Chain A
Amino acid sequence: MNVINDLLKIIGDFIAGIINSIFSFSPFLADVVTMGLAAVILCTFAALSFMGLTYVERKVVARIQDRVGPNQAGPLGLLQPLADGIKMFTKEDTTPAAADRWVYNLAPLVIAVFALTTYAVLPFAPGVVGTNLNVGVFYIIAIGSGSIVAIIMAGWGSNNKYALLGAFRTVAQLVGYEVPMLLNVLPVVMIAGSMGLTDIITQQTTLNGNPGIPFIVFFPLSALVFLISGIAETARSPFDLLEAESEIVAGFHVEYSGMKFALFFLGEYVNALAVAFVFSTLFLGGYAGPVLPPYIWLLLKAAAVFFVFMWLRGTLPRIRVDQMHNMNWKFLVPVSIVHLVVVMALMKLFVTNPAQVQANGGILVTPGVQAAILFTASIAILIGSLVIAARRARIMRLQEEAVLEQRRAENIAAVSV
């Protein structure tokens, strides 16, 4: 047993051993205490990474936009998250007189709880996972519904038109982008033959005769669409329509201040980090990797994905609400469906398992060849759909310009008369 590689597991087993010996009179109690402790550790990890990420994100986005970012609190502004925390704790927070008190006060709690509960199934290293559910991926997407409910609660509970409008917009966005997310997890589940996150990672390692190819090679299109819809699901820039200050003030949390606002913020960041973790797990091989210990690999991959999020946030302008819906329903969803059908056909045609060839027919290929075929197909679909979309967009733009031109000509005519 390599001490460094299995560090997390050894520490976990050690603590579990202590708890078991203390509660030796009741195994049930020992289990509950162990699970409770694990849950506390996971929640603390999520909350601490939230604090760290706010700082890192502000610094990175500032650098991208040629600013300095936080630099007053402590060296390099490193104590900024702490200062923010103190501020959040001691800031007065008001409950509007018109609000539905129960719903209004419960909403931030619900969003934070469901965001944290996502971490229950994330595998950090071999054997280090809250619980290895056999419906893992499905669970993560389903638990996201909790935040949708919380957003509606916040919008309605505030009893504010802007909050309600913002909540509705956000919910329409979140439910919409759940569809491409679900459709693009399907190919991964198909090739892994399981929804459990640990099984999906095992399929991407070189252990047990697995080929050890990350699934992003098999499904680059799925990875791309998953990333886009993941950003939209966490309502980050460029999909942060809920924060369109000029239109709907600040969206569903306009009435929130102090700690309750902080919990919404926490929910947002924890969800974004969870998407980064899930993306690394599904498409980049999770904790699998050479030389370095597994948990370091996972953190590196997740950090890389999160850096892409920050990069996009620092670079892209916010999109309009109609563009957001069109992008989803008229581009991502149809493309995902076509991709899914093609992948299903190809995976049945080119099979890697000899037993399956005997049972159901198909052509026996090595995993590398299968990956090459699927990769080519994905890229072909991507290029084809982009070409079609670009052509359509050009036609629409020309029509719009023609209408504008005509109107301008009419205006000029009217003025000159």
Chain B
Amino acid sequence: MRTDFAFVGVMLVTAALLMGVTLIAASLLRPKKPSKAKLETYECGMETVGDTWVQFRVQYYILALVFVLFDIEAILLFPIAVAFNSLSFFAVANVILFIVVLLIALLYAWRKGALDWE
């Protein structure tokens, strides 16, 4: 199994090397004439005002939290799905219970307006 993953590691390293070489080659080929105006932050030709760190809406956080919920659900369901053919009725009923409980969470978030994006 770890030998199966060896190729993934090799692929990561190879891809990083190839892309790195591309970037370096491009940096050797291209002109490099920076000027003050060029290096300014782009904002439709105007000078930027204030900090980049603007206040974000809390909506993003809630959505990410709902996502974590379903991510955990999926992660637990995948091994069960692999074993699905040999599961008993009782086991499948429990899996369905698990899913329904999480569906209730989604419906709760929906009713509370956490999923609305105006």
Query: Do A and B touch, yes or no (CB under 8 Å, in the complex)?
Result: yes
Give the chain B neighbours of A298 by CB distance below 8 A.
none
Query: With contacts A168-B60, A179-B70, A333-B106 known, is A160 near B43, CB below 8 A?
Result: yes
List CB contacts (< 8 Å) of B48-88 with chain A.
Answer: 48, 52, 54, 56, 60, 63-64, 66-67, 70-71, 74, 77-78, 81-88
Give the chain B neighbours of A321 by CB distance below 8 A.
117
Is A161 within 8 A of B43, CB to CB? yes
Query: With contacts A92-B31, A120-B7, A168-B56 known, is A113 near B12, CB below 8 A?
Result: yes
Q: How would residues 30 to 70 of chain A score, 1 for a CB under 8 Å from any chain B CB and 0 otherwise?
A: 01100110111011000100000000000000000000000
Interface residues on B, range: 35 or more
Is B23 within 8 A of A109, CB to CB? yes
Give the chain B neighbours of A351 by CB distance below 8 A.
85
Is B52 within 8 A of A263, CB to CB? no
Give the chain B neighbours of A259 by CB distance below 8 A.
22-23, 26-27, 30
Q: How would residues 159 to 198 of chain A score, 1 for a CB under 8 Å from any chain B CB and 0 otherwise?
A: 1111011001000100110110011001101100111000
Say how far B18's CB is from chain A's closest CB, in angstroms: 5
A108 to B16, CA, bound (A): 11
Is B85 within 8 A of A172, CB to CB? no
Give the chain A neighbours of B23 by CB distance below 8 A.
108-109, 259-260, 263
Give the chain A neighbours of B110 by CB distance below 8 A.
329-330
Query: With contacts A330-B115, A344-B95 known, is A178 near B71, CB below 8 A?
Result: yes
Query: With contacts A96-B42, A183-B70 known, is A193 near B11, CB below 8 A?
Result: no
Give the chain B neighbours of A134 by CB distance below 8 A.
1, 4
- Nearest neighbor of B19 in chain A, beta-carbon distance: A112
Give the chain B neighbours of A98 by CB distance below 8 A.
40-41, 52
Give the chain A neighbours of B27 by CB distance below 8 A.
259
B112 at the interface (CB under 8 A from A): no
A360 at the interface (CB under 8 A from B): yes
A279 to B46, CA, bound (A): 45
From the candidates A131, A329, A345, name the one contacting B92 in the complex (CB within 8 A): A345
A311 at the interface (CB under 8 A from B): no
Is A43 within 8 A of B84, CB to CB? no
Is A90 within 8 A of B29, CB to CB? yes
Is A175 within 8 A of B41, CB to CB? no
Is A109 within 8 A of B74, CB to CB? no
Count chain B CB atoms within 10 A of each CB in A42, A116, A359 and give the residue with the most: A116
A138 at the interface (CB under 8 A from B): yes
Say how far A167's CB is from chain B's closest CB, in angstroms: 11
Is A258 within 8 A of B30, CB to CB? yes
Is A172 within 8 A of B63, CB to CB? yes
- Nearest neighbor of B66 in chain A, beta-carbon distance: A329
Query: With contacts A94-B39, A133-B4, A333-B106 known, is A325 near B115, CB below 8 A?
Result: yes
A361 at the interface (CB under 8 A from B): yes
Query: With contacts A160-B48, A334-B103 known, is A255 near B41, CB below 8 A?
Result: yes
From the candidates A36, A109, A160, A195, name the one contacting B16 in the complex (CB within 8 A): A109
- Nearest neighbor of B85 in chain A, beta-carbon distance: A193
From the candidates A89, A132, A164, A182, name the one contacting B70 in the complex (CB within 8 A): A182
From the candidates B16, B18, B84, B102, name the one contacting A347 in the complex (CB within 8 A): B84
List CB contacts (< 8 Å) of A65-112 with chain B.
Answer: 88-98, 108-109, 112
From the candidates B11, B12, B43, B118, name the one contacting A162 in the complex (CB within 8 A): B43
Count chain A CB atoms within 10 A of each CB in B64, B70, B110 and give the residue with the most: B70
Give the chain A neighbours of B39 by CB distance below 8 A.
94-97
A40 to B7, CA, bound (A): 12
Is A117 within 8 A of B8, CB to CB? yes
A341 at the interface (CB under 8 A from B): yes
Give the chain B neighbours of A254 by CB distance below 8 A.
42
List CB contacts (< 8 Å) of A206-241 with chain B.
Answer: none
Q: How would residues 89 to 118 of chain B score, 1 for a CB under 8 Å from any chain A CB and 0 otherwise?
A: 100100110011011001000100001111
A348 at the interface (CB under 8 A from B): yes
Closest 8 CB pairs of A and B: A259-B26, A39-B14, A131-B7, A182-B74, A116-B15, A97-B39, A189-B81, A190-B84
Please list 25 pairs of residues, one from A and one from B, whose beta carbons are closer than 8 Å in the complex, sorted by A's number: A35-B10, A39-B11, A39-B15, A40-B18, A43-B15, A95-B39, A96-B40, A116-B15, A117-B8, A121-B8, A161-B43, A161-B54, A172-B64, A182-B74, A190-B81, A249-B44, A259-B30, A263-B19, A263-B22, A321-B117, A330-B110, A333-B70, A333-B106, A341-B96, A348-B89
